[in-house]
């Protein structure tokens, strides 16, 4: 994914700081990695994984909203439709593909987000304020059940969408990553084949030489 083709979020919203976003990305990806590693049992599927990631990330933001060391992050509401503000910019959280999101609500501003935007007069409402800012958890690309690139990892991506055209106007991608757990299916390994080896008999060299002499 090339981000240089799009406007930088830090140009559109000077109050945003990349260091804050990278710090936040590390926190989010740590939760994602923990969830991936604890949801690989026979009783787990995509539903249990997705709902756990959603619930845990929400709890993370509730904790971060109460963290006095991060005054740049606030959580005005702790409802299921929570919308945190990052450097006073309302941002909704999703797990989706930045360029081809499956959730159509990614493009729309809910009532909580619209209310928060109305409180900030310093946002450029002609452009930056009209964008739908989304913090997306992007998973590695797959083809079927296989990773397209085994070195690909989970990233956090900040995207500014144009709600009218449903296109990307601005984008940033974290340097931090979460590793996809390697699952080994040892039950599918072939059964051990036992090879019947004959015992090795040690030959006495001196006795062998005597036998050869007498034979001659």
Strand order across the 89-90 sheet: 73-74, 85-86, 89-90
Q: Please, is 177 exposed, middle or buried when counting C-beta atoms within 10 Å of its C-beta (0-12, 13-18, 19+)?
A: middle
Distance from C-alpha of 185 to C-alpha of 135, rounded to nearest angstrom: 34
Question: What percentage of the chain carries pLDDT values higher than 90?
Answer: 51
Give the predicted TM-score (pTM) of the model: 0.75
Mean pLDDT of the chain: 80
* Residue found under tokens 């030959």: 203
Cα of 158 vs its chain's centroid, Å:
13
The per-residue pLDDT string of the chain (216 residues; one tens digit each, 9 = 90 and over) reads 556 689 999 999 898 999 999 999 999 999 999 999 999 889 999 999 999 999 999 999 999 999 999 999 999 989 998 999 999 899 999 999 999 999 899 998 888 887 777 766 555 545 566 889 999 999 887 555 544 444 468 999 999 999 889 999 999 999 878 766 544 443 444 455 555 555 555 555 555 555 555 555
- The rounded radius of gyration (Å) of the Cα atoms in the chain is 29
Structure tokens at 34: 């923990």
Q: Does an H or E element contain 171, and which?
A: strand 167-173
pLDDT in tens, 71-117: 999 999 899 989 999 998 999 999 999 999 998 999 988 888 877 77
């Amino acid at each position: 994914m090339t981000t240089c083709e799009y406007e930088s979020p830090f140009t559109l919203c000077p109050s945003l700081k990349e260091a804050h976003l990278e710090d936040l990305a590390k926190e989010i990806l740590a939760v994602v990695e923990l969830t991936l590693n604890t949801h690989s049992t026979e009783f787990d599927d995509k539903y249990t994984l997705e709902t756990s990631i959603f619930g845990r990330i929400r709890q993370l933001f509730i904790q971060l909203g109460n963290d006095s060391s991060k005054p740049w992050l606030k959580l005005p509401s702790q409802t299921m439709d929570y919308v945190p503000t990052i450097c006073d910019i309302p941002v909704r959280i999703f797990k989706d593909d930045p360029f081809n999101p499956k959730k159509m609500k990614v493009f729309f501003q809910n009532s909580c987000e619209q209310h928060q935007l109305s409180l900030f007069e310093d946002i450029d409402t002609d452009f930056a304020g009209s964008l739908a800012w989304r913090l997306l958890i992007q998973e590695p690309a797959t083809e079927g059940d296989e990773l397209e690139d085994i070195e690909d990892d989970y990233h956090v991506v900040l995207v500014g969408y144009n709600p009218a055209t449903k296109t990307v106007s601005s984008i940033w991608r974290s340097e931090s990553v979460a590793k996809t757990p390697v699952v080994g299916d040892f039950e599918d390994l072939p059964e051990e084949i036992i090879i019947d080896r004959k015992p090795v008999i040690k030959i006495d060299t001196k006795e062998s030489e005597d036998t050869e002499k007498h034979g001659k």
